[in-house]
Amino acid sequence: MNVLAPVRRDRVIADLPACFRKEAALHTRPAFHPTVASACQEERTGTVGFKISKIIVVGDLSVGKTCLINRFCKDTFDKNYKATIGVDFEMERFEVLGVPFSLQLWDTAGQERFKCIASTYYRGAQAIVIVFDVNDVGSLEHTRQWLADALKENDPSNVILFLVGSKKDLSTPAQYSLMEKDALKVAQEMQAEYWAVSSLTGESQLGGGCRSQHQPGQRTLRGSLPMGQGRTCGISSSEWRP
């Protein structure tokens, strides 16, 4: 009989992680919705005891998607990584308010020739993470098209969006400040939550990763509540803004 090891301490989410920027956060609530929290405490989260959240990670070639995932999942950084061919896949185990979750992270290729292959894996995502390089204005401009492609396979009203700027360690404070202004505008336009991270140093990786799990997790928990109760949680996309 196989017994799963305990969930890592940093994967146990009992409180809402803080957002990176209030100007581009899906919400700034300090705690989980009371209805969801109460249901979890009373073990009223539906008949399925193990829940899954699917997150797809998209963006230009060499913006750091794979390094982002490796830092979050394995706490490693490999500067000699190979470009993703088609798609790759990682799975992380979490507990959200005591409820076990499996987080599926789909790492998609940024090369044009693999787009058709990668897009077949977009469907059924609870969250979409669009990655750009904070040192490359072009990669930020391309995020709109990456999002449009991903939304062709998903219901726009039913996915949570994150715009993530990578390689922050390579940018000077002055350079980053200018890029952040443009990135915040794009995030607000997309109705996405914005994060800037460094896979090399690990800056903001854990907070951003846990934030990307708790929001799909809360939505999944809401959906599994008895009829009527979930709707009272008020976590529609139009209500995420502060």
89 in Cβ contact with 180 (< 8 Å): no
**The pLDDT value given to residue 137:** 96
Partners of 132 in the beta sheet? Answer: 165
pTM above 0.85, yes or no: no
Alpha helices in the chain (DSSP H): 34-41, 65-74, 115-119, 137-141, 143-151, 173-190, 205-223
**The pLDDT value given to residue 194:** 93
Percent of the chain beyond pLDDT 70?
Answer: 71
Q: Is 208 helix (H, G, I), strand (E, B) or coil?
A: helix
**The pLDDT value given to residue 213:** 57
- Token look-up 């009527």 returns 228
Q: How far apart are CA 235 and CA 230, in angstroms?
A: 9
In the chain, the domains with their CATH numbers are 12-225 (3.40.50.300)
Average pLDDT over residues 189-198: 92
Chain centroid to CA 158 = 14
**What are the structure tokens assigned to 114, written together?**
């693999």
Give the pLDDT confidence of 145-179 residue by residue, as tens digits: 999 999 998 999 889 899 999 999 999 999 999 99
State the pLDDT confidence band at 240, using cuts at 50, 70 and 90.
very low
Partners of 11 in the beta sheet? Answer: none
CB atoms closer than 10 angstroms to residue 221: 27
State the pLDDT confidence band at 43, using cuts at 50, 70 and 90.
low
CB atoms closer than 10 angstroms to residue 142: 18
